[in-house]
Amino acid sequence: MRILIELPTWLGDAVMASAAVEAIAKHTAAFDARNSAGEFEGLADTFTDGSDFHSASGDETAQKFDGENLTVGDDAGAFGDDISGRSFSFLSQNFGAVIQEIQIFTNKNSLNSDSKFNANFKAGGDVNLTSKMQNLTLNGQNLKPSETAQISTAFGKTATNSEQKFKNLSQDFKAQTQELENQAQNFKKKDRLTAQNRENLADKHVKIVFFGSFAACELFKAHPNCERVVVDNSKKAKFRLWQLFWQTRNLGEFDAVFSFRSSFASKILLFGARAGRKFIFQKSKDGAHQVQKYLKFVKSALNLKRADDELKLYFEPRKFDAPVLGLNPGASYGSAKRWYPAYFAQVALHFKDEFKIMIFGGAGERDMCEQIEQILRENGAECENLAGKTSVRDLCENIGGIGQSGGIFVTNDSGPMHIAAAYKTPTIALFGPTRFTQTCPWRNENARILRLNLECMPCMKRVCPLKTHACMKDLSPQAVIQTIEREFFAKAQGD
């Protein structure tokens, strides 16, 4: 089976889409097999052009695009609910003007069926018969206590007999249910792929062509299902849409195409792709985390009830010979998201005797990284400045290695922050103008989010519209130092 995936443009979004990519790799072949076996019979509507639109939940919409059916998965999701039956919230703690946030997950299905049944029974059926009998009436007339007692005794005997009958019926029902389940299992073994066969089918036969920006494609080069990566260079072309159409057309035939973007150019890409099924992500303004939105899109497309929500990257973490303090002062979105180089340097100087210091950044972030390096060297602190010197693979291996070394990663809201989340690297994530609820380090129990609570937050602007940049300027280095000492050093000593 051959799949084409158009990745999100930004590195951070591509990392957050990795859980959804895993769902595509693991479940698309199984979906196709189930669909071929008629498992979703009655759930598919066939358009006049012969293309299929599969809908399991009814919350998707379909668009006809010049004879091609684009299935638009509804990416809206209830805030705080993930695809695997868990819900999350934030544990907020105030430390002066600084608020620390920790993402907490709970299992919505933690109550087992027996306890739920018992709870319902006690709420509706486990009543005090004696107290009920005290005010019995017969044809509107109050009964005497002796008559009430007789009825109570008779009712108690009847209740006992009914309880025994109920138990017998329950046992018969369980036996019949087990027999039906055995028949269903036998039917599945004969006429459908088993779960293990589907898993094997996905592992062995699904080949994925990843299409997108250079950074996003580099992120998925190591994916075990990757056939090839194709970098989108159409923006440089004189006639971009025309080139995009033919570039996709020349990639060959696919069984399905998934686009994690919702631009007009992406619709042209899907129009040009030669595939039987085409799915495109639709943006929404709900409060769900971006990881949840991507998963909801894939869940809707593939009729999935469950999908693993763990971020997954396939680069092996680097092994360091000492704990590393990683500093990431950059953020591609704009200057409003960036903490100050002098602040990063102050934190590093405080811990220079405990950590090996490494500075991360892209080619366009060399200046700010060099500022940090200069401050550190002027104060006798050694560091390694990797700005503009690493590939995406190197970046992932280094950030993944920081956690295994016993180190900490201090970062703005950025792509490297999400890479750290994928590797569960201990992280201090600094948030200012962006919504931490939607782009925080996903499922990283080792991450601590630091933010202020200003009226102007979150403005979601690239540059501070008030010209004060108070959301980052007033987030002091001392707050980060205290968080590291409290959350990582003190707990390590306690353990």
Number of Cβ within a 10 Å radius of residue 154: 10
Could you give the percent of the chain with pLDDT greater than 90?
Answer: 62
Whether the Cβ atoms of residue 430 and residue 483 lie closer than 8 Å to each other = no
Report pLDDT for 106.
Answer: 72
Residue 417 contacts by C-beta under 8 Å, 6 or more apart in sequence?
Answer: 12, 328, 409, 411, 427, 429, 441
End-to-end CA distance of the chain: 49
d(Cα 57, Cα 80) in Å, to the nearest integer? 20
Maximum distance among all Cα pairs of the chain, rounded to whole angstroms: 99
pLDDT in tens, 453-469: 999 999 999 999 999 99
Let me know: does 387 contact 426? Beta carbons within 8 Å. Answer: no
**pLDDT at residue 42 tops 50:** no
pLDDT at residue number 310:
96
User: What number is the average pLDDT over the span 320-344?
Assistant: 94
CA 474 and chain centroid, separation: 31
Q: Which residue has the higher pLDDT, 200 or 241?
A: 241
Spatial contact of 129 and 159, defined as CB atoms under 8 Å apart: yes
pLDDT, tens digit (0-9, with 9 covering 90-100), for 391-420: 999 999 999 999 999 999 999 999 999 999
- Average the pLDDT over 291-297 and give the result: 96
Q: Which amino acid is at 31?
A: F
What's the rounded mean pLDDT across residues 239-247?
93
The larger pLDDT score, comparing residue 283 to residue 169, is at 283
Whether the per-residue pLDDT at 120 is higher than 50: the answer is: no
Q: Which of 41-55, 148-162, 353-367 has the least mean pLDDT?
A: 41-55
Contact call for residues 84 and 306 (beta carbons, < 8 A) = yes
CB 368 within 8 A of CB 361: yes
Average pLDDT over residues 155-166: 56
What is the per-residue pLDDT for 339? 97
Q: What is the pLDDT of residue 495?
A: 59
Residue 158 has pLDDT above 90, yes or no: no
pTM of the model: 0.75
- What is residue 425's predicted lDDT score, i.e. its pLDDT? 98
The pLDDT value recorded for residue 80 is 53
Distance CA 337, CA 10 (A): 15
Q: What is the mean pLDDT of residues 241-246?
A: 93
In angstroms, what CA-CA distances link 395 with 3, 91, 160, 331, 419? 27, 30, 70, 14, 9
Poorest-pLDDT segment among 54-63, 177-186, 241-250: 54-63
The pLDDT-based confidence of 105 (bands split at 50, 70, 90) is: confident
